[in-house]
Amino acid sequence: MTTSRETSVAATVAALSDIVGPQACLTAADDTATYTTDYRKLYHGQAIAVVLPANTDEVSRVMAWCYQHDISVVPQGGNTSLMGGAVPDASGNAVIINLKRMNRVLEVDAVNDTMTVQAGVTLHAARAAAEEATRLFPLRIGSEGSCQIGGNLSTNAGGTAVLRYGNMRDLVLGVEAVLPDGRIYSGLRGLRKDNTGYDLKQLFVGSEGTLGIITAAVLKLMPLPRASSVAFVAVANPAAAVSLLGEAKKTAGQSVTAFELISRPALDLVLAYLGGMKSPMEGAHDWMVLIELTSGSAAESLDQTMVQVLEAGMESGLVLDAAIAASGADAQNFWRIREEISDAQTRTGGSIKCDVSVPLSRIANFIAEASAAVLALEPSARMVVYGHMGDGNVHFNPLRPADRDSKEFLAAHYKTISHAVDSLAHAAGGSISAEHGIGVAKRDDLARFKTPVELELMWQIKRALDPKNLLNPAKVLPAQ
Ligand SMILES: Cc1cc2nc3c(=O)[nH]c(=O)nc-3n(C[C@H](O)[C@H](O)[C@H](O)COP(=O)(O)OP(=O)(O)OC[C@H]3O[C@@H](n4cnc5c(N)ncnc54)[C@H](O)[C@@H]3O)c2cc1C
């Protein structure tokens, strides 16, 4: 005997298979497992099916069918979200729409300095396509091989070059998106000026798949850098790092492309994780920064500019020691140290991830206060603090003491530590999520840190676009 739920699941699978083809409608547990579990393996959901549409029309028809039959839909890109936003809950009542088959670069317009891509193009492929046309698509994040442009837009991704180029919101000119009821919003325009009313495309940026499924986008391209200089620099403390950034901006202006803070425990973790790799500097320092200068002009000697910045820093006591990359390989090694911190933490286990931003003028004070608050709760916690300090963003990720079990540490401290850190960031005029989004992980916290008016406006927008609350439900917006 079949139940009515089994009948409706079977009918859904049949209808969706009709639209995308049976091979693009996955239902077997072995086939769906990688789509129903998040990157960090913290969230395990279930789905009626994972649908892999080939084009916008198929997305639209799948959405219309689900809308008519009251079936929830979870949009998914590369599934690299750190907030659990791209996987369904455990009810098994949702359909996942993964965009990976929509992976074509549709046009590179080198005169207009724009590129039109389908949403399933990986960030790596988008950057490569731009480079082929001697242009730069400047978004740079550690997950670039897997994450997709649609996911980058939906999370308003940031990364290591925001200081110079802005985040994803600043890098997009046009969006095409399918609305929850299947209608298509066509905003694929490559215009830098367009004041014809509300900027609707920005609604989809940073909304984490709760308002529509992004199917294509027009992205801005920049001149390809032709000169660069990278330095690994020891500084006395975060306040010295902020002052050094000021010096760098004064001397190198727009060339300052990345300014990344690294605490000693973060460096130790990554050196242990990578084995043979050595610190670029002799001696142990508590705080370091990775500075990158770039320029579109090959004539510029950025190493000379870097030396000027560092010498000024040494004279004023901000810089304790420094190494300038002597080759491309050196520069890559410096960057590797920075980029592997995230995976080194995942491997070690037991880190409490707080991705916060505060105004640059208050960041040093915030780090001191938050460190004191964490150490008061757990005196042996390792302070893994790093990130995109140049734009006010730090990954403030206290790590379990070396001799403590990771599960036990997280159970004892996750809530208290993350609430303490978030509260201090908020009090400093900051944000509890700088670039990773809200997803499920921070959904309840949003209710504590947004005003009632902000929450009500967010819900009004959600209801206007998704009156049945079917698109990525129970993500981002706290329950009302
Ligand atoms: C090693 C590592 C390093 C990282 N570094 C950074 C960093 O420096 N900066 C940073 O900002 N992030 C970083 N991240 C987080 C993550 O990679 C980004 O949030 C990325 O933008 C997510 O893209 P994705 O395609 O994987 O999206 P997914 O994880 O698949 O989805 C993320 C959210 O977007 C929604 N979504 C996905 N595609 C679409 C679409 N086409 N239309 C509508 N909604 C959609 C999903 O429903 C979900 O809510 C990192 C992650 C890892 C694993």
Q: 435 CA to middle of ligand 1, Å?
A: 10
**β-pair type (114-118, 319-324):** unpaired
Predicted confidence (pLDDT) per residue in 59-81, tens digit: 999 999 999 999 999 999 999 99
User: The domain 105-223: what is its CATH number?
Assistant: 3.30.465.10
Residue 7 pLDDT > 80, yes or no?
Answer: no
Q: At what angle do helices 264-274 and 341-348 cross, to 10 degrees?
A: 80
For residue 123 and ligand 1, the question of a CB distance below 6 A is answered with no
Predicted confidence (pLDDT) per residue in 184-194, tens digit: 999 999 999 99
- Domain 344-427 falls under CATH 3.30.70.2740: yes
324-330 average pLDDT score = 96
Distance CA 344, CA 478 (A): 32
Predicted confidence (pLDDT) per residue in 97-119, tens digit: 999 999 999 999 999 999 999 99
Predicted confidence (pLDDT) per residue in 328-345, tens digit: 999 999 999 999 999 999
| Nearest ligand 1 atom, CA 475 | 49
| Nearest ligand 1 atom, CA 74 | 47
Q: What is the DSSP letter of 381?
A: -
- DSSP characters over 110-143: TTTTEEEEETTSBHHHHHHHHHHTTEE---B-TT
For residue 152 and ligand 1, the question of a CB distance below 6 A is answered with yes
For residue 99 and ligand 1, the question of a CB distance below 6 A is answered with yes
For residue 207 and ligand 1, the question of a CB distance below 6 A is answered with no
Ligand 1 binding pocket mutation candidate from 63, 139, 155, 179 (most atoms within 8 A of CB): 155
Domain 4-98 and domain 227-341, same fold? Reply is no
Sheet holding 25-26, edge to edge: 25-26, 49-51, 94-98, 72-76
Residue 5 pLDDT > 80, yes or no?
Answer: no
Q: Please tell me the residue having the least CA distance from ligand 1 atom 3.
A: 142
**β-pair type (213-220, 227-235):** unpaired
Q: Please tell me the residue having the least CA distance from ligand 1 atom 20.
A: 152
**Residue 47 burial class via C-beta count within 10 angstroms: exposed 0-12, middle 13-18, buried 19 and up:** buried
Residue 4 pLDDT > 90, yes or no?
Answer: no
pLDDT of residue 372: 98
Q: 156 CA to middle of ligand 1, Å?
A: 8
For residue 84 and ligand 1, the question of a CB distance below 6 A is answered with no
437-457 average pLDDT score = 96
Among 98, 104, 91, which Cα is nearest to 76's?
98
Cβ(37)–Cβ(441) below 8 Å: no
pLDDT of residue 2: 64
Distance CA 80, CA 281 (A): 32
User: Can you give the residue ranges of every domain in the chain?
Assistant: 4-98, 105-223, 227-341, 344-427
Kindly state the percentage of the chain with pLDDT values over 70.
99
Reported as a pLDDT band with limits 50, 70 and 90, residue 1 is low
Higher-pLDDT residue of 300 and 418 is 418
Q: 119 CA to middle of ligand 1, Å?
A: 12
For residue 103 and ligand 1, the question of a CB distance below 6 A is answered with no
Ligand 1 binding pocket mutation candidate from 51, 81, 117, 357 (most atoms within 8 A of CB): 81
Reported as a pLDDT band with limits 50, 70 and 90, residue 6 is confident
Distance CA 248, CA 57 (A): 49
Q: 78 CA to middle of ligand 1, Å?
A: 7
Q: Could you tell me where the beta strands, DSSP code E, fall in 300-345? A: 319-324
Q: Is 306 helix (H, G, I), strand (E, B) or coil?
A: helix
Q: In degrees, to the nearest 5, what angle opens at C-alpha 358 toward C-alphas 450 and 424? A: 65
Q: 80 CA to middle of ligand 1, Å?
A: 5
Kindly state the percentage of the chain with pLDDT values over 90.
94
Distance CA 291, CA 338 (A): 11
Sheet holding 382-387, edge to edge: 319-324, 227-235, 287-295, 256-263, 382-387, 393-399, 354-357
Ligand 1 binding pocket mutation candidate from 37, 50, 143, 214 (most atoms within 8 A of CB): 143
For residue 214 and ligand 1, the question of a CB distance below 6 A is answered with yes
pLDDT of residue 480: 86
133-143 average pLDDT score = 97
Distance CA 63, CA 445 (A): 30
Distance CA 149, CA 391 (A): 22
Predicted confidence (pLDDT) per residue in 245-284, tens digit: 999 999 999 999 999 999 999 999 999 988 888 899 988 9
Structural class in CATH, domain 4-98:
alpha beta
CATH architecture, domain 227-341 = 2-Layer Sandwich (3.30)
**Residue 169 burial class via C-beta count within 10 angstroms: exposed 0-12, middle 13-18, buried 19 and up:** middle
Distance CA 19, CA 69 (A): 15
For residue 154 and ligand 1, the question of a CB distance below 6 A is answered with yes
Q: 436 CA to middle of ligand 1, Å?
A: 7
Distance CA 326, CA 242 (A): 25
Structure tokens at 36: 């129903």
Cβ(386)–Cβ(351) below 8 Å: no
Predicted confidence (pLDDT) per residue in 11-34, tens digit: 999 999 999 999 999 999 999 999
Task: Please name the residue that has the structure tokens 């988008």.
Answer: 126
What average pLDDT does the structure give for the chain? Answer: 96
